[in-house]
Structure 1
Amino acid sequence: MVDGARISPIDHILLRGDPARPALDGRSGTQSYAELERTLGRLAAWLAGFGLEKGARVASWIAKGPVAALMPLAAPRAGLVHVPVNPLLKHAQVAHILADSGAALLIGTASRLATLGAGDVPEGCHLHREDDAACAMSGGDALDPSDAAPDDLAAILYTSGSTGRPKGVMLSHANLWLGAVSVADYLKLTAQDRTLCVLPFSFDYGQNQLLSTWFAGGCVYPLDYLTPRDVVKSVDRRDITTLAGVPPLWVQLTELDWPQEVAAKLRRLTNSGGALTRSLVAKLRALFPKADLYPMYGLTEAFRSTYLPPALVDSHPDSMGSAIPHAEILVVRPDGSVTDDDEPGELVHCGPLVAQGYWRDAARTAERFKPAPKASRYGGMAVWSGDTVRRDAQGLLTFVGRDDAMIKSAGNRISPTEIEEAAVAVDGVAEAVALGVKDERLGQAVLLLLRGASLELKGLELKGPELKDEVEARLKAELPNFMQPREIVMLSEFPRNPNGKIDRVALAREYAA
Structure 2
Amino acid sequence: MIVPDATPRPIDHVLAGAPDAPALIERAGVLDYAMLEDAVARCAGWLAAQGFAPGDRVASWLPKTRMACILPLAVPRAGLVHVPINPALRRAQVEHILTDSGARLLVTQTARAMGLDGIATPIVAEDALDGPALGRSDADPGALAAILYTSGSTGRPKGVMLSHANLWLGAVSVAQYLKLTPADRVLGVLPLSFDYGQNQLLSSWMAGASVAPLDYLTARDVVKAVTRVAATTLAGVPPLWVQLLEAEWPVETAAMLRRLTNSGGALTPRLVRDLRARFPAADLYAMYGLTEAFRSTYLDPALIDAHPDAIGRAIPFAEVMAVRGDGTRAGAGEPGELVHAGPLVAQGYWQDAERTAQRFRPAPEFAASGGTAVWSGDTVVEGEDGLFRFVGRDDEMIKSAGNRISPQEIEEAVLAGGEAREAVAMGIADARLGQAIHVVLAGDPAREEPLRARLKRDLPSFMQPRSYDWRDALPRNANGKLDRAGLRQEMQA
Bin the TM-score by the shorter chain: 0.7 to 0.9
The answer to whether the Cα contact below 8 Å between 2:238 and 2:481 also exists between their aligned partners in 1 is: no
8 Å CA contact retained: 2:264, 2:481: no
- For 1:469, the equivalent position in structure 2 comes to none
Q: Which moved more, 1:160-169 or 1:394-403?
A: 160-169
Within the candidate set 179, 189, 201, 2:192 is matched to: 201
1:355 alignment partner, SS class = coil
Contact 1:63 1:109 in 2 (8 A): no
Alignment of 1:10-21 (within 5 A): 10-14=11-15, 16-21=16-21
> Are residues 1:305 and 2:305 paired?
no
Q: Contact 2:20 / 2:32 at 8 angstroms: preserved in 1?
A: yes
Match of 1:272 in 2: 263
Task: Specify which of 173, 180, 191 is matched with residue 182 of structure 2.
Answer: 191
CA RMSD of aligned residues (A): 2.8
Is this contact kept in 1: 2:349–2:356, CA < 8 A?
A: yes
State how far apart, in whole Å, the 1-side matches of 2:25 and 2:483 are: 37
2:250 paired with 1:259: yes
The CA deviation at 1:110 is 1.4
CA shift at 1:485, angstroms?
8.7
Q: Secondary structure at the match of 1:30?
A: strand
Whether the 8 Å CA contact 1:345–1:390 is kept in 2: the answer is yes
Deviation per residue, 1:188-213 (Å, 9 max, x gap): 00000000000000000000011000
Paired residue secondary structure (2:375): strand
CA distance in 1, matches of 2:380, 2:239: 23
**Local SS of the residue matching 1:322:** strand
Distance 1:265 1:243 in 2: 10
Contact 2:86 2:478 in 1 (8 A): no
1:425 corresponding residue in structure 2: none
One of 338, 342, 345 as aligned partner of 2:329: 338
Q: Residue 227 of structure 2 aligns to a residue in which SS?
A: helix
Question: How far 1:237 moved relative to its partner?
Answer: 1.3
Whole-angstrom distance in 2 between the partners of 1:28 and 1:112: 21
After superposition, the C-alpha distances for 1:406-457 in whole angstroms (9 at most, x for unaligned) are 999xxxxxxxxxxxxxxxxxxxxxxxxxx9954459xxxxxxxxxxxxxxxx
Equivalent residue runs for 1:407-418 within 5 Å: none
Distance 1:217 1:193 in 2: 8
Alignment partner of 2:14: what SS? helix
User: Identity of counterpart residues, as a percentage?
Assistant: 62
Task: Check conservation: 2:8, 2:141, Cα contact below 8 A.
Answer: no
User: 1:162 touches 1:404 (CA, 8 Å); kept in 2?
Assistant: no
Query: What SS is found at the alignment partner of 2:128?
Result: helix
Query: Residues 316-361 of structure 1, C-alpha deviation per residue, up to 9 Å, x if partnerless?
Result: 0001111001000011111110011000000000000000000000
Offset at residue 112 of structure 1 (A): 1.5
State the SS of the aligned residue for 1:25.
strand
What CA distance in whole angstroms lies between the structure 1 residues aligned with 2:237 and 2:330?
30
1:280, CA displacement in angstroms?
Answer: 1.3
- 1:52 equivalent in alignment to 2:52: yes
Residues 311-322 of structure 1: matches in 2 within 5 Å?
311-322=302-313
For residue 173 of structure 1, what is the amino acid of its counterpart?
H
Three-state SS of the structure 1 residue aligned to 2:167 is helix
Q: Give the conservation status (yes or no) of the 8 Å contact 2:160–2:346.
A: yes
Q: Residue 38 of structure 1 contacts residue 142 of structure 1 at CA under 8 Å; is this kept in 2?
A: yes
The separation in 2 between residues aligned to 1:325 and 1:484, in whole angstroms, is 28
Q: Contact 1:8–1:145 at 8 Å: present in 2 too?
A: no
- Find the aligned partners of 1:480 and 1:376 in 2 and give their Cα distance: 35
Partner Cα separation in structure 2 for residue 108 and residue 404 of structure 1:
37
> Do structure 1's residue 127 and structure 2's residue 118 form an aligned pair?
no
2:153–2:483 CA contact under 8 A, matched in 1 = no
Normalised by the length of structure 1, the TM-score is: 0.77
Deviation at 1:226, TM superposition (A): 1.7
* Corresponding position of 1:96: 96
Alpha-carbon contact 2:12-2:136 (below 8 Å) kept: yes
Matched position secondary structure for 1:346: strand
State the AA in 2 paired with 1:129: A
State whether residues 344 and 388 of structure 1, in contact with CA within 8 Å, keep that contact through their aligned partners in structure 2: yes
Aligned to 1:349: 340
- 1:64 paired residue number: 64
In the alignment, which residue of structure 1 is the partner of 2:402?
none
Give, in whole Å, the separation in 2 of the partners of 1:7 and 1:189. Answer: 19
Query: Quick one: which amino acid aligns to residue 359 of structure 2?
Result: R
For the 8 Å contact 2:330–2:336, the answer to whether it is kept is yes
> Measured at CA, do residues 373 and 249 of structure 1 come closer, stay the same or move farther in structure 2, by a change above 3 Å?
same
Q: For 2:27, give the aligned amino acid.
A: R
Does the aligned pair in 2 maintain the 1:57–1:81 contact within 8 Å? yes
Matched, 1:9 2:5: no
Asked if the contact 1:186/1:324 (under 8 Å) is kept, the reply is yes
Equivalent-residue separation in structure 2 for 1:163 and 1:232 (angstroms): 33
Question: 1:496 is matched with which residue?
Answer: none
Counterpart-to-counterpart distance in 2, 1:235 and 1:319: 28
Q: 1:328 to 1:65 in 2, by over 3 A?
A: same
User: 1:29: which partner in 2?
Assistant: 29
Conservation of the 8 A alpha-carbon contact between 1:7 and 1:145: no
In the TM superposition, what is the alpha-carbon distance from 1:402 to its structure 2 partner?
A: 0.5
- For 1:195, the aligned partner's letter is V
Distance 1:131 1:113, change over 3 A: same
Match of 1:394 among 382, 385, 391: 385
SS in 1 for 2:260: strand
For residue 281 of structure 2, what is the aligned residue in structure 1? Answer: 290
Distance 1:58 1:228, change over 3 A: same
Aligned length: 417
Cα deviation, 1:347-377, whole Å, max 9, x if unaligned, reads 0000000000000000000000000001111
Shift, 1:483, TM fit = 10
Alignment CA distance shift 1:188-1:482 (3 Å): closer
1:236 aligns with 2:227: yes
Q: Distance in 1 between matches of 2:220 and 2:478?
A: 23
Q: Secondary structure at the match of 2:86?
A: coil
Q: Specify every segment of 5 or more residues in structure 1 that has no aligned partner in the other structure, as ranges.
A: 1-5, 409-434, 442-475, 490-503
One-letter amino acid of the structure 2 residue matched with residue 360 of structure 1: Q
CA contact (8 A) 1:225 1:231 kept: yes
- What are the ranges of 5 or more consecutive residues in structure 2 without an aligned counterpart? 1-6, 398-406, 409-436, 444-474
Distance 1:356 1:405 in 2: 26
Q: CA deviation at 1:97?
A: 0.3
Other-structure match for 1:170? 161
Q: What SS does structure 1 have at the residue aligned with 2:71?
A: helix
CA distance in 2, matches of 1:175, 1:61: 22
1:279-323 Cα deviation digits (max 9, x unpaired): 111111011110000011100000000111100100000011110
Residues 481/292 of structure 1: CA separation in 2 closer, same or farther (3 Å cut): closer
CA, structure 1 residues 322+484, in 2 after alignment: closer, same or farther (shift >3 Å)?
closer
> Structure 1 residues 319, 483: closer, same or farther in 2, change over 3 A?
closer
Q: TM-score when scaled to structure 2? A: 0.80
- Counterpart secondary structure, 1:202: coil
